[in-house]
Amino acid sequence: MVSIFEDYEQQYSVLTAELTAQIGLLTASASKDRRQLISKIEKHVEEAQELIEQMDLEVREVESSKKHRCKTRLDCYRAELKRLTLEYIKARSVKQEALYDSAEELRDIRINNDQKQKLLDNAETLERTGRKLNDGYRVVVETQEIGNQVLRDLSDQRETIQRSRARLRDTGEELSRSSRILNSMLVRAVQQKVILYTVAACFIAFICVGLYFGFHD
């Protein structure tokens, strides 16, 4: 993206150099050839504005480490184009009465000057809009970074919850195993008591039988 931005910069440099030379010629010119020169200047101003718009679009795609430097250069280009536009308006309005044959021609030129002022106003509006778009883009990027951080935090919390669930599952299995062992021990204890009571009953029965036969003998 930076290479494309630099290509636009080179085109802009060539264009502004031609604009500067043409504005100088317009200031020194005192003939009706100014009309053709004015037409060329206006065309070049429009091309310069389009290049700035293209550079503004490319700046948004530049990696963050180079974005600030590119934006600073772009602001300089906007200021330079604004200065050249003002110089053009000033050069075009010099000695207009002496350069044209009729009041109608002069009136047409003044109308064109009004149009040029509107063009300058539009350029300023475009510049303000560009700054607002850059601010909006920066807010979007910051919001995206915050959203990514929130997603990372949620992912970490989910992993923590999953680990806690795994520990609870393991603990439940341990408790189930312990419960089975305890139940098995209780069953054995009951069985042992039954056996003990049975043996004791048999022993008592034997004693009773022995005493019975002993008394009858």
Radius of gyration, CA atoms only, the chain: 48
How many whole angstroms separate alpha carbon 72 and alpha carbon 24?
Answer: 27
Q: One digit per residue, pLDDT tens: the chain, 217 residues?
A: 457 888 888 898 898 898 888 888 887 765 556 778 888 888 888 998 998 888 888 887 777 777 788 888 888 988 988 888 888 888 877 654 444 445 555 455 555 556 656 666 666 676 677 677 667 667 766 777 787 888 888 888 888 888 888 888 888 888 888 888 888 888 888 888 888 888 888 888 888 887 777 776 6
Alpha helix positions (H), the chain: 2-28, 34-59, 64-93, 96-99, 103-216
How many whole angstroms separate alpha carbon 18 and alpha carbon 92?
Answer: 16
Q: Decide: 61 and 5 in contact? Cβ < 8 Å.
A: no
Any idea where the domains of the chain sit in the sequence?
2-156
Give the tens place of pLDDT for each residue, 55-111.
888 887 777 777 788 888 888 988 988 888 888 888 877 654 444 445 555 455 555
Q: Which fold has domain 2-156?
A: Methane Monooxygenase Hydroxylase; Chain G, domain 1 (1.20.58)
